[in-house]
Structure 1
Amino acid sequence: MTWGLDGKLALVTGGAGGIGEEICFALAESGARVVLHDLQNAPRASVCERINAAGFAHEVTTTFGDLADLDALQKDVVSLVAEIGPVSVLVNNAAINPRGPIETYALEDFVRVQAINAHAAFVLSQAVMPGMRKAGGAIVNIGSQTLAGGVPDMVPYVSAKGALLGLTRSLAREAGPYGVRVNMVSPGAIPTDLERRVWADQLARVEAEVVAKQSLKFRGSARDVANAVLFLASEKSRFITGHELNVNGGWHMG
């Protein structure tokens, strides 16, 4: 299948593992030139090595930084664009998810979650927009089905995802006349290494509870999310913008 992404530059945050790694793989498989962004101590090199072993047209490269440092992020992405060219696809995937009742969070904890999960997406979108206005492009933000409610002890995380949805819709309206599309993919309960570590001794129970809540009676995968991102990043979705695409097996419909 031709996605219309051959040779186009794609920047993916939080790409060194989990859903982010699968997004990088899918975009590289489509022919895009992928830059994987993550923390300096994240396993970026090993992830790139695994993807590049597939022998795609363009090797995945990597860059690093702390998304909570918004000033540094702004300078880094401007330098990146000047060095390797305009970004055609931006995937704002990186996120952190501390959990606990609202009274347990220090203010700096809340602010850090907002910075990484939402404010960084604003900074990156702002930095790539001049190039996208000239040549078109697509921004895909990674949301969460937790926005639909029903999950306690996640106020900072869900608040940030709400801000990201607002960014998606408002920027889609503003950037549309320039041929730039902005959408959101909101995954459901996707099994990852993190889930397997956190629930190591309760995986059977977690599996049963998740599947019971879904309309489709099987677990999704990181590739299911990556395929949705690939679709919204590609020319196949050329008439879709400002949309939240739920990838959750029918857990939440809306």
Structure 2
Amino acid sequence: MDSTAADFKNQWNAELYDSKHSFISELVANLVELLSPKPGECILDLGCGTGHLTHKIASSGAEVMGIDSAPTMIEQARKNYPQLDFDVVDAINLPYTEKFDSIFSNAALHWIKEAEEVVVGINKALKPGGRFVAEFGGKGNVNAIVSAIYNALQKAGYSTDTALNPWYFPSIGEYGSLLEKHGFELTYATLFERLTPLEDGEQGLQNWLKMFANSFFNGLSTDAHINTIIDIENQLRPSFYKNNTWSADYKRIRVIAVKL
């Protein structure tokens, strides 16, 4: 991972994540149902964040390990669920060989542009016949927000380099092909819109940008950052602010694949 990505990774605010972005785990309860964890299975929660879905999986009786590349997230996960096993591990360098019956991931894989390295590591970490169940940002995810960010930066004379964008949002075809290339049978795939209400009223979009889009504003002064956020809000308000609630234009990809 390059230094810019590493710097951003270390900026994760676990307290803000838990207090203002609980919807991330709450919206995907049925993803855990698709995983269908069984007592005694060994399952990896890849990109576990602060551990809420790891705990939900563990309640099935499965043996679960949660990993995340952000030390702040793992520290919070250990505080939230001290009885569970969490570790700081980078998904592009998974150190496991045929250890897990299943690998689960929610809202994590779109942070990793080295998607092929991740898929190779997931395949290696799974036992033969093991299943991979994941949901993350797909093609078109937060398009309106990203467009507003770049518009605001351009108007203010700041960099609009595409390298500022930290995300990887593949199509079903792109990601399905990647899985099949590396020893998986894709058994389920869908791309769907999920207009997602953000918490904390008027502050909702600001919180979201602070939590997830910080890399776009690196190098801006405090005043410039504030003014840019205001511009972004003004652009998005007509379509994405209703009844004192901001929404984000999420599009999610959901896949189930089996290791051959």
Larger radius of gyration: 2
Looking at secondary structure, tell me which structure has more helix per residue. 1
TM-score normalised to structure 2 length: 0.48
TM-score normalised to structure 1 length: 0.48
